[in-house]
Amino acid sequence: MSKPKVLVTRRWPEANEARLRDLFDVTFNADNHPLSPAELQDALRNYDAVLPTVTDPITAEVLSVEPLRAKLLGNFGVGFNHIDINAAKARGITVTNTPDVLTDCTADIAMLLMLSAARRGGEGERLVRAGQWTGWHPTHLLGTKVTSKTLGLVGFGRIARAMATKAHFGFDMPIVFFDPYPPTQAVIAHYGAKQVDRVEDVLREADFVALHCPGSPENRHLINAERLALMKPTAILINTARGDVVDNEALIQALKSKTITAAGLDVFEGEPNLNKGFLELDNVVLLPHLGSATLETRIAMGDRVIENVVAFFKGETPRDRVV
């Protein structure tokens, strides 16, 4: 039997690409450019499986292509809001993702953002690199203490719980959370966490608010001007979820007006086209979507995609089937 014909939309770690070459008739995006809608349509016409990433908007229009050859979208990432799931289902395309394997590293980035924003790490490094540091003095770059402050979590899934482990047991932080699909009472009790009924309750109570909710039409601009106004003026917002969960323009205004003290962001609306308003602010830490960016995690993500693709072409149900 001939090997399934597979297109990989962006370059993967070398170990993953070697496995792909062994298992499939694989084509790589040699220069690693973001594929255009027309290129994505060509991929769906000419390959049995397409392995996209968050940088590949698989819209209903892209999925309307004729003739359609692809039967599988093996997504490299846990989030799949860049794929029109309903359109994929209507066209009989299976979609898989990569849960579990990026949990710890994404939680690490959330902690990095929280600590950097609280202790003004980005400002301090820029000052040193610019040769403008004049030495220690008692009121220089005073930040916010993290230990023992309340961490509010919007969403209490795998990544949020990994962050809660680091924050509660490592930094003695009380945990308050909202999640419409909460874990068991045993899990909640493990963290001594307080469950509240609304997002607004988290925003009012927490010193740090970390977003761990999925990207979806329902969650678009979940954090808007009205909700930002509910936060403490000393509070700090952390987003490692999806960029459009936050109204970026409203956040910029809240940071300018000191409605909240600071923010730490790894994701943005319309990324990589960053709202230039963020660049005018010192009280925001900006990272280029580094949540899962460790070699170990990216290899594990690639392996998980490969496992799903192999299962699919064996006629089995992939472990991480979304639809």
| Beta-sheet strands, E only, within the chain | 5-8, 25-28, 49-51, 72-74, 94-96, 151-154, 175-178, 194-195, 208-211, 236-239, 262-265, 284-286
The dotted CATH code for 103-286 is 3.40.50.720
In angstroms, the CA 276 to CA 141 distance is 24
What sign for the dihedral angle of Cα 196, 200, 202, 205? negative
289 as an active site residue: the answer is yes
Crossing angle of the two packed helices 295-313 and 103-118, in degrees rounded to 10: 150
Residue range(s) occupied by CATH 3.40.50.720 in the chain: 5-101+295-313, 103-286
- pLDDT at res. 220: 97
N residues, the chain: 323
- pLDDT at res. 34: 95
Report residues of the chain scoring pLDDT below 70: 1
- pLDDT at res. 117: 98
Q: CB of 167 within 8 A of CB of 175? A: yes
In angstroms, the CA 5 to CA 137 distance is 63
Which two three-digit tokens encode residue 3? 């090997």
In angstroms, the CA 84 to CA 224 distance is 24
Whole-prediction pTM: 0.96
Candidates 190, 289, 307, 321; catalytic one:
289
- pLDDT at res. 226: 98
In angstroms, the CA 303 to CA 98 distance is 9
- pLDDT at res. 17: 98
Candidates 242, 269, 298, 304; catalytic one:
242
Architecture in CATH for domain 5-101+295-313: 3-Layer(aba) Sandwich (3.40)
271 as an active site residue: the answer is yes
